[in-house]
Chains A and B, each alone.
Chain A
């Protein structure tokens, strides 16, 4: 089964530590989200996977085998800084990329045709890239990562700059590639709701270090239990029980310290009025993210 493993990757730029013994695994057919605040080392990691950067230590394994130039040619990549030849026609450019990745001229041409068709830019095949709208350029960029039918897809911020329709198209393509062809898709994003919706698994990094990784559902469930939701009939979300060990952390949301019995919260709530709803709050990925990287780091989510 084709899987990608990053093992103990370290990289420093002068005195700055970009990656510090970072490691995680992406399994076949997984859509894998790679999240972390700005400057956490996501782009550095992806560049190392693609061989555009060399790590100071550590290694990247593909199905247990150390990745070399020959293996990498079968990976698809969309860098954070989009890059296409502005004066080259769309179809010709995609054919060129496909050939560079080892396809024969004929296969490259038919694959170029197929992907422009699938991404809805077939009528722009003969146009120069610079004549396209930014949204369509983004589609060409995605096609460039897919045109050689890669065995692994590495996308750095693929959703940034896309309109809602573009987001849907891209989501569909990524899920399709992962589900139908069992291709692991790893992508970075600051749009955590999107990551939660699309991804089977995630890795959260901060300051070049892994802080959490695993299946999204598992991570969320593991964090559940400390937070509880209490909804009163009177709809008062700002009610506070005033008991040691229970802290109100949001609208109708209460966090219990380690020893506190959830029943104490329920009793206090009953005292305040009729209870409409009481139960464990499963955190969203965004909650998780803020928990593990710190609330201050969540601001990075607004950056494109």
Chain B
């Protein structure tokens, strides 16, 4: 039997066992729910930015003011719906009954106590414009001249701070952090389960340790890719369906990068997690033996969050070229268009190199310690086995 079949058989077993486990299905559903919730909540809070106002008017002059406000509303992230009322009494009643947010009658602005500042400045600006236009017209200026005079080219807006795509970056690095940690732990648990149930000795009388390890990492990785793609896909799909979020143009690339970095990050961490499972004999020791890996992942996640506002900071750039942190940081930077192509390519090259190195070391260590029972080894001790001859 060739190696590929051994890897296929053991990998398929892992996939089937997880797909049938209720825990796996439920955790996938929970993560889907969380991502959908994040998208929907950010859509709702995003929608709040466009405030909607109903403004009543009475009289021709007031009508001109309100309609002008309606035209200018967009600049204020607002929307104004005009309606006509009969006289000052009707206007006061409409405001008082909360049928409208404000009313303009002649030269009076009627509002409830503590009015929206946006609305009042919007209406004041509209009034100024109407008055200025009327005045300029009476001075004999033509409408285009008036328009040029009172609508000078606006200032160009240069946003400092949270860059566009920050939300996508946040979701992306959160997803990567959760996925790599989850599936890394699944690998460690699967390795130690075979040790603690002693089935590993039966398996290894049929196939070689490296085949078992490869099957396990690939099988669980396939599940991981499936889950990440599903969650990312559903997340983007829901965002598009709601239509409230302006997805940055780079969304598609971000999703691809998330999947690429999941693949590399997962393979690298899975190799290390497999070792953390192989050096202990009991299920309850895995958590402490894999703690250094979880800490690295958390560190990567924290770096990604702390650099969302400053994707060009030294820390962010450093992490891009530091493989253990890169998976959480790079897709976020890319989503914010803060990643030059050469940095991306160098980062991927370093990831590939680190991943291959770790897989090679893990295969050697796994081969030497997987049948070892008894007191747990330290992760550091385990890495000394890389240089040792096989002992079994």
Contacts and interface: CB of A to CB of B under 8 A. Distances in A.
Interface of A: 47, 50-54, 69, 72-73, 75, 77, 79, 81-88, 96-97, 99-102, 144
Given A86-B197, A102-B1, A54 B205 contact: no
Given A87-B17, A100-B6, A79 B202 contact: yes
Q: Chain A interface secondary structure, helix, strand, loop or mixed?
A: loop
Contacts of A77: 201-202, 205
Contacts of B1: 73, 100-102
Nearest to B195: A83
Contacts of B378: none
A53 B199 contact: no
Contacts of B112: none
Given A51-B205, A52-B371, A83 B197 contact: yes
9 contacts: A52-B371, A53-B371, A77-B201, A83-B201, A84-B199, A85-B194, A96-B13, A99-B9, A100-B9
A101 to B, nearest CB: 5
Given A72-B205, A100-B207, A83 B200 contact: yes
Contacts of B17: 85, 87-88
Contacts of A102: 1
A83 B202 contact: yes
A84 B205 contact: no
Interface of B: 1, 6, 9-10, 13, 17, 21, 194, 197-208, 371, 390-392
Contact of A79 (B10, B201, B390): B201
Nearest to B390: A54
Contacts of A75: 205
Contacts of A53: 371, 392
Interface centre among B197, B206, B207, B390 (most CB of A within 10 A): B206
A102 B194 CA distance: 21
B205 A81 contact: no
Contact of A54 (B197, B206, B392): B392
Contact of B392 (A52, A81, A82): A52
Contacts of B199: 83-85
- 5 pairs of A and B residues whose beta carbons are closest in the complex: A83-B198, A83-B199, A81-B198, A77-B205, A53-B392
A81 B201 contact: yes
Nearest to A75: B205
A51 B201 CA distance: 10
Interface centre among A52, A82, A101 (most CB of B within 10 A): A52
Contacts of A86: 197
B16 to A, nearest CB: 8
A84 B13 contact: no
Contact of A97 (B6, B204, B206, B390): B206
B157 to A, nearest CB: 59
Nearest to A50: B205
Contact of A101 (B10, B197, B206, B390): B206
A102 B10 CA distance: 13
